Amino acid sequence: MNRRTFLQVGVSGAGGLLIAFTVGCKDKDAPAPAPAPTPGTGDAPAPARPAGADLNAWIRIDPDDTVTMLVPEAEMGQGIHTGVAMILAEELDADWATVRAEHAPADGAKYGRQSTGGSTSTRGNWDALRAAGATARAMLIAAAAQQWSVPAAELTTEPGAVVHAASKRRARYGELAAAAAKLPPPAPDTITPRAPGTYRLIGKPTKRLDQRPKITGAATYGLDVRLPGMLFAVVARPPVVGGKLVKFDGTAARAIPGVKDVLQIPTGVAVVATSTWAALKGREALSVTWDDGAHAALTSEQISKTLRDLAPGGVTVKQQGDAPDAVKRARTKLAAAYEVPYLAHVTMEPLNATCDVEDGRCTLWVGTQTPSGCQKTAAEILAIPPEQVTVHSTFLGGGFGRRSQTDYVAEAVHVARSMKGPVQLVWTREDDTRGGFYRPAALSLCEGALDADGWPTAWVQRIAAPSILERFGPLEGGVDATAVEGVENLPYALPHLLVTYARPDLPISTWFWRSVGSSQNAWSTECFLDELARAGGKDPLEVRRRLLKDKPRHLAVLEAAAARAGWGAPLPEGRARGLAVHESFGSVVAEVAVVSIDAGAPRVHRVTCAIDCGTAVNPAQIEAQMESGILYGLSAALHGAIHLDGGKVRESNFHDYPVVRMREAPRIDTVIVASTDPPGGVGEPSTPPVAPAVCNALLALTGKPVRALPIRLG
């Protein structure tokens, strides 16, 4: 039984009430009870058809006119399959009704390093995608010109076809693709992408290509993969940070029905069985002795003390004027400390990877943000060339940075190497929450000064945070760029500014978390600015207008958000507005939150968001990502925290690491500021401003600043 039939079979089998409904599809299109999903690209299975012609690495056209866009980036709910396909289809002049998308294979020769993160999928590939689409269109035109013996200059295209107006001839792309694929691509300097004023697709709200398979249950996620003879595995890992395996006895585990083997791998003890349930029961039965190591007494309080001890020192990241001296001499000054905890990623689909190792080759089926990383990891473990590792990317049930790690893939490879046949390795949510990677804890010590008229003139921010980047090599100048982003590029016009960074040596594994350093630094900077505005008796909007006078993009989103939110207009008693603006990943976002206090806790009623992300490829996708990022950031602001007691992570699942539920979700309004600049990111930039907007609303409401997250009042 799979999850798609559980409700139907379970409820009807118990003699209960079964209520069926459809969403966005007619009855005739509703899926039959789902068979075991087949592994592959992660997209809905398509009917068999003649082999298509590859015009380049991104575009394949079939004889039936189906245009398949091969997308190297991971589709993890952010809509990138649709966005990339729209750019390619725009330049190709494809008929959108014929377009589909699928994950491209891991292929460094075609795509370079395939890794989805940092909101780079569109902004990093904008020019290349437009060139690919335009080149393919030129090749189709050349094929038609050759067949009709007419100059290519006399031909043009309409959606899905090449036309010759003089002779009224018309050829569908499907008819021309095979011939076009045999032609050499035109020289790059002869290709001119479309002008923005001629776009048919870009800029238009467009339904996502993966919407239907996900609604009907046809989409394949990593957990859906089923292969003949496949076994399932889970791993027992050290419960204490930095712990190691001493010994284990698998006798009781092997006695569990379905358990096939118990074996040691580098990260712990793997139990392999005929089902995930049997593997889990086998893991429970293991007898394991761990060496807790040097961190068995580590607590969150010790981590906090380490940050506070280190923050006053550190190396200089940015300096203009003499901020410490300006603060010292100022009549009106302010000091504040802002602290955030470690955070888990809590992807909705638990981590998993399916691996088959046979005859010197490795095949992976995995929801990953980094197919290239999976290929490299497997190749290194097995000591084979990367070309002998095939990666089938599936849909991802959430990534948020966590699935750009390959630790769970490495475990699958180690287990599969010891077994005869494919193995699906699964992490429970508890496994990941207690033994995965985290957003770093961080502390900012801020000092500021006001002039005689109450305007900010000096700013000191001393940051202490574990490094993410040190695992990749020495830090340039001793500074982790991710730890200081959002402060190092502080947009405010201040004559005196000093930013420093101190790196604590802590044993917790850190990794990229949605919006990375901006997630905590937007909170500290925007909250401190509101505190300075309050100390100077100024309206927070007016302070930002003054300090952003030379930042037109920031001003535009600031004004758009404030206008849509009705900044300054009366609110019902007991409610207040808070404002924040932040630049990250090539985009600028401003947000206004309306907040009240309900039973001693903040209640967020509305968030108004304005974004300048350059050219808006798919406004519907952008709006969805603004909502997604806001809710993700709000979850962290209201609830998110990883605590350590005795070297062990206290939290385990959604009951003690909650996320925003429907009853807590605010109304979200999004304004997309028009722009003709190249696209910026949209997957991450809405996350940073929401926490400070909420906290600044609470400051306006209560007069008391929030200086630690998650928010706790009283």
d(CA 48, CA 711): 54
**CA 145 – CA 268 distance, rounded (Å):** 63
Query: What six digits make up the tokens of 205?
Result: 């709200």
Element (DSSP H or E) covering residue 507: none
pLDDT of 24 above 70: no
pLDDT of residue 28 exceeding 60, the answer is no
SS3 state of residue 160: coil
Residues of the chain above pLDDT 90, percent: 92
DSSP labels for 524-546? HHHHHHHHHHHHTT--HHHHHHH
- Per domain, the residue ranges of the chain are 1-35, 53-216, 223-293+351-426, 300-343+438-702
List, for residues 611-632, the tens digit of each pLDDT value: 999 999 999 999 999 999 999 9
For every residue of 403-431, DSSP letters joined together read GG--HHHHHHHHHHHHSSS-EEEE--HHH
Contact 557, 611 (CB under 8 A): yes
Distance of CA 65 to the CA centre of its chain: 33
CB within 8 Å of 607: residues ≥ 6 apart: 591, 592, 593, 594, 630, 634, 666, 667, 668, 669, 690, 693
Per DSSP, 388 falls in state: G
Instruction: Tell me which amino acid residue 591 is.
Output: E
- What is the reported pLDDT for 51? 74
pLDDT for residue 12 is more than 80: no
pLDDT value at 20 more than 80: no
How many Cβ atoms sit within 10 Å of the Cβ of residue 335? 12
CATH number of 53-216: 3.30.365.10
Sorting pLDDT into bands at 50, 70 and 90, what band is 714?
Answer: confident
CB atoms within 10 A of CB 6: 10
Crossing angle of helices 407-418 and 371-382, rounded to 10°: 40
Q: Do domains 223-293+351-426 and 300-343+438-702 have the same CATH topology?
A: yes
Distances in Å between the Cα of 504 and the Cα atoms of 172, 328, 412, 670, 707 are 62, 27, 32, 39, 21
- pLDDT tens figures, 329-357: 999 999 999 999 999 999 999 999 999 99
At 1, the pLDDT band (50, 70, 90 cuts) reads: low
Is the backbone of residue 649 left (phi > 0), alpha (psi -120 to 50) or beta? beta
* Residue 643 in this model has a pLDDT that exceeds 60: yes
The share of the chain scoring above pLDDT 70, in percent, equals 93
DSSP 668: E
Is a pLDDT exceeding 80 seen at residue 210?
yes
Q: What letter would DSSP give residue 221?
A: B
* 134 touches 55 (CB < 8 A): no
Beta pairing, strands 53-54 & 59-61: antiparallel
The average confidence (pLDDT) of the chain is 93
Residue 97's identity, in one-letter code, is A
The pair of structure tokens assigned to 48 is 């068999």
Integer CA distances (angstroms), 632 to 348, 398, 400, 473, 547, in order = 12, 11, 9, 30, 29
Examine the pLDDT at 46 and tell me if it is beyond 80: no
Architecture per CATH, domain 300-343+438-702, reads as 2-Layer Sandwich (3.30)
pLDDT band at 490 (very low <50, low <70, confident <90, very high): very high
Question: Using 50, 70 and 90 to split pLDDT, how confident is the model at 44?
Answer: very low
Q: Which residue has the tokens 């948020």?
A: 400
Mean pLDDT computed over 160-172? 97
Q: pLDDT at position 5, please?
A: 59
State pLDDT tens for residues 303-318.
999 999 999 999 999 9
Q: Which residues contact 459 (CB under 8 A, 6 or more apart)?
A: 323, 446, 447, 448, 490, 492, 494, 496, 497, 498, 528
pLDDT value of residue 580: 98
Q: Is the pLDDT of residue 43 over 50?
A: no
Look at residue 569 and give its three-state secondary structure: coil
- For the domain spanning 223-293+351-426, the CATH number is 3.30.365.10
